Chain A
């Protein structure tokens, strides 16, 4: 099997195909600290792409309450258990290097190219049910209490994990497809299923560790997130030729999502673009981390981990960068305060930012560390260097008047 370099696990690994990298890569950052679980992203996607017959159970993007839930049920716990079973007590990190087996290396010697499993219909059926409420009616399947206001609630920490296809650099879905119906676009790294080649064998559904390839019974082929590619290409009627972020990103009420296109080197790492907001968050500040990097697909979705969650749980989910990411995020430096304000001021894709320095307004300790706040302005630029917007480090606060409170 060819060897490829996976920078997220800091080593070479087996992958069924030779490495090939796009010019730019679709990537995103989600700040879990601010996600309120409103599901606006989920519905933005649903109402755009999966509202038809046979797609009822499909949520290309979803938000689940961790540690309680998952869609499909227990997707991550199941796979972690399988990996551990394949290589007991060896799923460990040595500093930045993952020493355990990835889903490609842990594949059975004969048969599937990727270690995975096919969720049952039941697993897909009831996303979010019971996740925020501790218990349903005793002994009844898929039922909620009739008088919901009496439901018991979880008594300890939780957080919302928003998920979509990671348009991985080493996609497991693509690796597993016997028809070679799945491809990664050379211009932006978006991973697509060719609907005319797919025969519905569901090998991709089985192989994707994030369970973001889904089977549609009415057409008998598989479907997945298409990264709203017409928007990303700037072909949306509203776009006027400018590249736009996906529906789930643009709709985010909590302003926690940012998506862009990062430049790749020939070796498959991110090329240095110091003033690109995603490059800054992932490679410079290192506050955004990949989801389950140990799976080995090199996912291109990154998360600012929730700062209140026990570290061993987060370490398993986001890898060894967790402690540093949370430290830096909790007491942010001047540049990070400014870059965090770039989230959701516009639905256009940001390629570069600049900070216009303002006066120092506060200097004290925060969480036992020195913290200084400056009244800076951050400016976002588009693909052709055009200014998209500028904003102060403090968010403008708007209150909708009473008479429009439920206005849509």
Chain B
């Protein structure tokens, strides 16, 4: 815990200092967030809302740095397999219903 002004050159004192950002780091993080939550059943609007929400620091950081258009692309790519799964299930279900009708 820093007692005075934190010394940014002290490798043990990362709390209390801002670390310089590098392009690309937040891109990987944004894809990570989108894909993890997509696998947890989140759809596109819900994922986009997470990135827009200012209280979710990590997603919002990526949204601010990468811009909405890029985030939309990331989200769309993340949900694609899971949407395909839901569509396949819906098709199966309607086939089953039709067979019973």
Query: Complex formed: what's the CA distance from A134 to B2 in Å?
Result: 12
B28 with A308: CB separation less than 8 A: yes
Partner among B19, B32, B85 whose Cβ is within 8 Å of the Cβ of A154? B19
**A382 CB within 8 Å of chain B:** no
B31 and A362 form a contact (CB under 8 A): no
Which residues from 10 to 38 on chain B have a C-beta closer than 8 Å to any C-beta of chain A?
11-22, 25-26, 28-29, 31-32, 36
Task: Check A129–B1 contact: CB distance below 8 A.
Answer: yes
CB distance from A384 to the nearest CB of B (A): 31
Give complex CA distance A195, B78 in Å: 51
Whether, in the assembled complex, A2 has its beta carbon less than 8 Å from a beta carbon of chain B, the answer is no
Complex contact A308–B1 (CB within 8 A): no
Report the minimum CB–CB distance from A138 to chain B (whole Å).
6
A359 within 8 A of B: yes
Does A157 lie within 8 Å of B25, measured CB to CB? yes
Pick the contact of B5: A34, A81, A138, A153 (CB < 8 A): A138
- Size category of the A interface is 35 or more
Please determine whether B26 and A156 come into contact, CB atoms closer than 8 angstroms.
yes
Which B residues touch A130, using CB under 8 A?
1-2, 15-16
Are B22 and A156 closer than 8 Å at their CB atoms? Answer: yes
Q: In the complex, are the beta carbons of B85 and A375 less than 8 A apart?
A: yes
| B1/A306 in contact, CB under 8 A | no
Interface SS, A side: loop
Inter-chain contact A373/B20, CB cutoff 8 Å: no
The size class of the interface chain B forms with chain A is: 35 or more
Known A74-B12, A152-B18, A153-B61; contact A135-B6, beta-carbon cutoff 8 A: yes
What residue in chain B is nearest A398 (Cβ atoms)?
Answer: B41
Quote the shortest CB–CB distance from A137 to chain B (angstroms): 10
> B residues within 8 A CB of A150?
none
Contact A395 B14 (CB under 8 A): no
Q: B64 CB to closest chain A CB, in angstroms?
A: 9
Please give the distance in Å from B99's CB to the nearest CB on chain A. Answer: 16
- Which residues of B are found within 8 Å of A131, using beta-carbon distances? 15
In contact, B15 and A77 (Cβ under 8 angstroms): no
| A404 within 8 A of partner (CB) | no
A67-B14, A129-B15, A395-B41 given; A158·B1 CB < 8 A:
no
The closest CB in chain B to the CB of A255 belongs to B40
The answer, yes or no, to whether A218 is at the interface (CB within 8 Å) is: no
Q: Point out the residue from A153, A371, A395 that lies within 8 Å of B57, measured CB to CB.
A: A153
Chain A 1-59 residues near chain B, CB threshold 8 A = 33-34
A373 lies within 8 A of B3 (CB) = no
Decide: A395 and B40 in contact? CB cutoff 8 A: yes
Contact B28 A156, beta carbon cutoff 8 Å = no
Residues of chain B lying within 8 A (CB to CB) of residue A364: 80-81
> Contacts of A74 on B, CB cut-off 8 Å?
12-13
List B80-97 residues whose CB lies under 8 Å from chain A.
80-82, 84-89, 92
A308 and B15 in contact (CB under 8 A), knowing A359-B88, A362-B80, A364-B81? Answer: no
Give 7 CB contacts A-B under 8 Å.
A135-B6, A135-B18, A154-B19, A156-B26, A361-B88, A362-B81, A394-B82
B interface residues, Cβ below 8 angstroms from A: 1-6, 11-22, 25-26, 28-29, 31-32, 36, 39-42, 57-58, 61, 65, 80-82, 84-89, 92
